[in-house]
Amino acid sequence: MNTFEVIVVGGGTAGTTAAIAAARRGQKTLLIERSGALGGSSTLSLVTPLMDNHLAGQPLNRGLNLEIISRYQESVDSTGPEEASWFDPLLLATVLESMVLEAGVTVLYDAVVSGVELVSGEILTLQVATRGGVLPIAGRTIIDATGDAVVARMANCPVQIGNETGQNQPMSLRFILGNVDKHAVAQAFGAIGVEVSYPRFHVGFHEAKDSPMGPWVQKGIDAGVLAPDDLGYFQFFSLLGRRHSLAFNCPRLSGFAALDPWQISRAYGVGRQKIQRIVRFLREFVPGFAEAEITNVASLIGIRESVRIVGEYTLTEDDYFSARRFADGICLNRYPIDIHHPSGVGTTLKYLPEGVYHEIPYRCLLPQGVKNLLVTGRCISASFAAHAAIRIIPNCRTLGEAAGIAAAIANAAGKSVKEIDGAEVRAQMEL
């Protein structure tokens, strides 16, 4: 049987940093990824750029997050870390893979965990479905970085889903357009009162029909090019390294349950049809897009939230607004509570005052009921509102790094991840 000291399930945003952190501390580490590339939402879902989590102009997510940005910067000869945070997701996947392999991690692509062997509150083996069949793989400490708490749910850990009525925030299926006249786009939006800074710019509206571009949207609907619900949330970014491309954070897909495989499958189809209509609308009604071409459609749907574990501590909205600190705080955050309404209409944003941040305790990574399991990334223990503030890529990178460090500390001490002091994990992080 294949045996490892640390097994990380999910090679996305949090899983890659968890694997790097564990392997660099001498742990024999396996990283299991269901696709053929690393990065998850940041690469396969085309989620770009990084959201801002800074205090007084300085990043609150340091450590591996800044190292990834620096490595990406080197690969594109960027002029600064700020520009490198507006990344090309396809190139980022190669940067992450290089860092993982350099750390000595074993990567198993095209593989999913299909079952767990749980004995006396401890996961002994994982059943891993691969192209060659189902493999039993043993690990001393397991890190669930699937984004959907897949391993935790298989181990019967308690979880919460969605808001108080069980509804999830809408999803997005993102895409990239090439052959865009970005100068003409910047001029067109400037002419309707939307301030842009060419060539690096961002345009976004919570409801496009109620924004300055509303007349364009209405023309598209009247012409039968757009369906009335195609453009609610609308956002695009320039893309570092691609001079004639823009990356779109839309269409928004509401009313789909994030854990229902049938509904997710339908959401992909609905999203791709919406993209076709949105692109036709841009070509016909928005200056600068006449010759635009679709160069990428996300191969992984963008899920803002699905399920959250019930951990040894649950982060709350009160913790957020109280700017609460913890002895075992392993991640610092001041990103706003950013809730896309499950109805599909509107967004709620709640901000911390200037100069204020809160911490996320290590205990939020510890699911109830299992001794040797850590859960990291977007599905840690938090309320629906608190989760909406911590789900961004920089935080998930830091949460993954904390999980990898914790696994290494526990294994080296011959303890479980629940027996170690979270302050020890904090002490090894760059906060």
Neighbours of 120 (CB within 10 A): 6
Give SS3 for 125.
strand
The pLDDT value given to residue 80 = 56
Mean pLDDT to the nearest integer, 215-226:
97
* E strand or H helix that includes residue 348: strand 347-350
Neighbours of 56 (CB within 10 A): 6
- How far apart CA 135 and CA 129 sit, in angstroms, is 6
The pLDDT value given to residue 79 = 57
Residue 198 has pLDDT above 90, yes or no: no
Q: What angle do CA 367, 338, 252 make, to 5 degrees?
A: 100
The pLDDT value given to residue 77 = 66
Would you list the DSSP string of 235-292? EEEEETTEEEEEEE---EE-S--TT-HHHHHHHHHHHHHHHHHHHHHHHHHSTT-TT-
Mean pLDDT to the nearest integer, 236-254:
90
Which residue bears the tokens 């994990």?
A: 425
The pLDDT value given to residue 85 = 75
pTM over 0.85: yes
The pLDDT value given to residue 166 = 87
Task: Read off the pLDDT of residues 33-57 as tens digits, 9 standing for 90 and up.
Answer: 999 999 999 999 999 888 999 999 9
The pLDDT value given to residue 49 = 84
The pLDDT value given to residue 84 = 61
What type of residue is 247?
A
The pair of structure tokens assigned to 129 is 């479905």
Q: What angle do CA 191, 196, 198 make, to 5 degrees?
A: 110
The pLDDT value given to residue 343 = 79
Mean pLDDT to the nearest integer, 81-106:
88
Query: Considering only CA atoms, which of 248, 249, 268 is closest in space to residue 258?
Result: 268
Give percent above pLDDT 70 in the chain: 98
The pLDDT value given to residue 430 = 96
- How far apart CA 172 and CA 278 sit, in angstroms, is 13
- How far apart CA 49 and CA 240 sit, in angstroms, is 9
Give SS3 for 375.
strand
Residue 31, beta-bridge partner list: 8, 107
The pLDDT value given to residue 267 = 97
Give SS3 for 129.
strand
Task: Kindly report the length of the chain.
Answer: 431
The pLDDT value given to residue 197 = 81
Query: Taking all residues of the chain, what is their mean pLDDT, rounded to a whole number?
Result: 95
Q: What angle do CA 80, 56, 398 make, to 5 degrees?
A: 70
Mean pLDDT to the nearest integer, 93-114:
98
Mean pLDDT to the nearest integer, 101-122:
98
Which residue stretches of 142-212 are H helix? 150-154, 182-191
Give 191: exposed, middle or buried? Use CB within 10 Å, 0-12, 13-18, 19+: exposed
pLDDT band for position 87 (cuts 50, 70, 90): confident
- How far apart CA 160 and CA 195 sit, in angstroms, is 40
Lowest average pLDDT, out of 77-86, 131-140, 197-206, 317-326, goes to 77-86
Would you list the DSSP string of 65-123? HHHHHHHHHHHHT-S-HHHHTS--HHHHHHHHHHHHHHTT-EEE-S-EEEEEEEETTEE
Given a contact cutoff of 8 angstroms between Cβ atoms, the answer to whether 50 and 85 are in contact is: yes
Residue 254 has pLDDT above 80, yes or no: yes
Residue 81 has pLDDT above 70, yes or no: no
Residue 284 has pLDDT above 60, yes or no: yes
Query: Considering only CA atoms, which of 77, 4, 121 is closest in space to residue 419?
Result: 121
- How far apart CA 121 and CA 284 sit, in angstroms, is 59
The pLDDT value given to residue 226 = 97
Task: Read off the pLDDT of residues 333-390 as tens digits, 9 standing for 90 and up.
Answer: 999 999 988 877 878 899 999 999 999 999 999 999 999 999 999 999 999 999 999 9
